Amino acid sequence: MKTDALSTTLPVPLTRWEDGTIRVTGSRVTLDVIVHQFKLGATAEQIQDCFPSLTLREIYGAVFFYLEQTAAVEEYLHHQEQASQETRRLIESRPETSALREKIRARRRQPVKA
């Protein structure tokens, strides 16, 4: 068996988008959701059930990336969570969204007709 052709470095199937999110290359699935599922104890196969457009190789690659760079990924996830909270505060502070939210809440309180 000739081992010269074996590569010891493989590309990670992740891409950083212009908005700063890290996603599985060729998809809109973020590293965030894969890591979240993994931390909840999901296997790669279970994660694939949630995201059937991803291959097991892509999921394992994302998990490998997380395990190899846990501190950096945790920092990234923390930054993403802060940005998400800031966006939510901004949206909720707008008067036009307040009225819409109240209409939705009122509609949810109405009994469902059978």
Of residues 94 and 87, the one with the higher pLDDT is 87
The pTM of this model reads: 0.75
Q: Per-residue confidence at 2, pLDDT binned at 50, 70, 90?
A: low
> What residue segments make up the domains of the chain, in order of their start?
14-109
Q: Which residue blocks in the chain are alpha helix, DSSP H?
A: 31-39, 44-50, 56-68, 70-93, 95-109
* Alpha-carbon span 56 to 67, nearest angstrom: 16
Percent of the chain residues past pLDDT 90, beyond the cut: 63
* Alpha-carbon span 20 to 74, nearest angstrom: 15
- Look up the CATH number of domain 14-109: 1.10.10.10
* Alpha-carbon span 14 to 31, nearest angstrom: 8
**Residue from 45, 17, 22, 19 nearest 33 by CA:** 22
Q: Per-residue confidence at 90, pLDDT binned at 50, 70, 90?
A: confident
List, for residues 28-74, the tens digit of each pLDDT value.
999 999 999 999 999 999 999 999 999 999 999 999 999 999 999 99
